[in-house]
Amino acid sequence: MTKTRPHSAARTRRAASVVAAVLALSLATGAASVDTLSVPPTAETLSGNYLAARFAGQQQDLGASARFFAEALASDPEDTFLLERTFVLSLAAGDTDTAMDLGRRLEQLDRGNRIAGLALGVEALRDKQYSVAIETLKRANAGPLAGLTVEVLSAWAEAAANSPDKALKRLDKLDGEEWYAFFKNYHGGLIADMTGRTTEAVKRLGKAYEIDPGAVRVTEAFVRALARAGKPEEAKAILAEAEGRAPGHPLLVATRDDIAGNGTPKPLIATPLAGAAEILAGLGAAIARNDTDEFAAIYLQLALHLDPSADLARISLAEIFERAKQFEQAIAVLSEISPRSPLKRNAEIQVGFDYNALDKVDEARAHLSKLVEDDPSDLEAVTALGNVLRVRKMFAEAADAYTSGIDSLKTPLPQHWSLYYYRGIAYERTNQWDKAEADFKQALTLSPDQPLVLNYLGYSWVDRGLNYDEALGMIEKAVELEPTDGYIVDSLGWVYFKLGRYEDAVVQLERAVDLKPEDPVINDHLGDAYWHVGRKLEARFQWSHARDRKPEPADLAKILKKLEQGLPPPDHPTAADAGSVATPPIKN
């Protein structure tokens, strides 16, 4: 149980009261919200640094929050709460040296602290103090997730101490949740393969593969174990199935290359530290999917502390930083991936997107262009470059990027539909409709049931007064395929409007507004439909909504005119063209 000195607890409560007072003031005056307040510089008082740490935490800036808590701790070094928060945040931010020092201090004050037990156990494992690691990790064993983590880490510690039989027995005895079976078999198989027990490795990894054949890492490990056990054809068959599910996945491609030759491939995990990092990275990525970023970051940072080459942990950690809009930190993490890693190219593409998210468009363009120059047939890099240019409305340049990818194709395959779709958008936005239409049709030839393409082509036909019947059928099919996509539902409503089916238009456009209430064009469309069914007060209400939601300048002028004059009668020759000339949804 945490022990905090009475005067320290009081000081922490006073700091908390400052936070509450500032929050109350901001809410009462409307001067600023928590989300918009910037993190202040380091303060000179405990309460000031505590406040700054809280704000940094609300902004999901783990590093800044750790620094401010460290400043607060310096004002009161024996406050267990401040010590624990500084330790946890330092660990999550990747300052593991500081975190371990704080963890040892925390352990003296709070022997039962579970995160300290986990971190110090990992540190002992890294320092080859295997029995110390196992004993220390016991303090972290509380709850299903922690129990699994501790036992698998302890098994790897036993394997590192040249006791693989004890390691496998430990895993076999692990009892608990139903989902434990996957991890028991996977890590048991990894330990067996690492220590030359290939038959045992194939058996255990085969069971893990049966539980989750879609897990790429399990497939990698199983295929390698089969090849090492003298079963190359079986290995290749399983790998072919996996590549059918995930074409071009870099880890599967690397595995295929490794088993293609006559030599014996290496096991997936070559050292106990890499194996221990594997459980931390896998669980950290799973935790991150539930948005508990601080705890997930701790697992991922500990994985990298054990094995700096744990690239999957780096990618998962970068995703956490990206979710928190800490794109500079994400770039720093991704840049550490080795050039020899199969995941390097994917990481570099993501770096380009992160530059774009920072509004560093020139850096994003240069970074992605270099990848395309190095390998013009790299369609992922081509698509990434084209998409960055397209969302920045550099449509001519985007079309050139997509064209370079299309020109590299020997034979277009179904998965290449998106290249033609994106280039079609770029052509349509540069008023090259004939080229755009041809690309949309080619995309549908390659993949006939793509709702985005069905919607874009159908919508574009309608706005040009072309092929109403065919367009209606295409958009109805798109809605059937994606019934909760507000943009596609809006397209259906707009076709009905163009056809003069105003009551039907109202039904669909009301659905679209429910699905995308903030979109100015959809609100504008609903206003037009309301006007033509006689619901003029509601029409003006929707136009007002559209006006206030930052429409494009040309659309805003039309909306203001409608608010002033309304719409002409339905039989007026310009009635069908009164609304905003919306564009279909564009998704990256």
* End-to-end CA separation in angstroms for the chain: 49
Cβ-based neighbours of 155, under 8 Å, separated by 6 or more: 167, 168, 170, 171, 187, 188, 191
CB count in 10 Å sphere of residue 289? 10
* Residue-level pLDDT at 494: 92
Cβ-based neighbours of 96, under 8 Å, separated by 6 or more: 90, 301, 302, 305
CB count in 10 Å sphere of residue 421? 24
The one-letter code for the residue type at 314 is: R
* Residue-level pLDDT at 53: 61
Which is nearest to 525 in space by CA: 508, 43, 33, 76?
A: 508
- CB-based contact 345:371 (threshold 8 Å): yes
Q: What is the pLDDT of residues 76-114, one digit of tens each?
A: 777 888 888 889 889 998 899 999 999 999 988 888 899
Q: How far apart are CA 124 and CA 304, in angstroms?
A: 15
- CB-based contact 212:199 (threshold 8 Å): no
pLDDT confidence band for 13 (50 / 70 / 90):
very low
* Residue-level pLDDT at 155: 97
- Check: pTM over 0.75? Answer yes or no: yes
Query: Which residue carries 């798109």 as its tokens?
Result: 478
Q: What is the pLDDT of residues 418-457, one digit of tens each?
A: 999 999 999 999 999 999 999 999 999 999 999 999 999 9
- CB-based contact 190:273 (threshold 8 Å): no
What residue ranges define each of the domains in the chain, with the CATH number in brackets?
1-111 (1.25.40), 458-588 (1.25.40.10)
What kind and span of H or E run contains 39? none
Q: What is the pLDDT of residues 297-346, one digit of tens each?
A: 999 999 999 999 999 999 999 999 999 899 999 999 999 999 999 999 99
Cβ-based neighbours of 32, under 8 Å, separated by 6 or more: 26
Mean pLDDT calculated for residue range 193-218 = 95
Q: Put residue 404 in one of left, alpha, beta given phi > 0 → left and psi -120 to 50 → alpha.
A: alpha
Per the structure block, which two tokens stand in for 542? 């929707």
Mean pLDDT over each residue of the chain, to the nearest integer: 86
pLDDT confidence band for 166 (50 / 70 / 90):
very high
More confident residue, 73 or 506: 506
Q: How far apart are CA 74 and CA 65, in angstroms?
A: 14
Give the SS3 label for residue 195. coil
Q: What is the pLDDT of residues 230-251, one digit of tens each?
A: 999 999 999 999 998 888 899 9
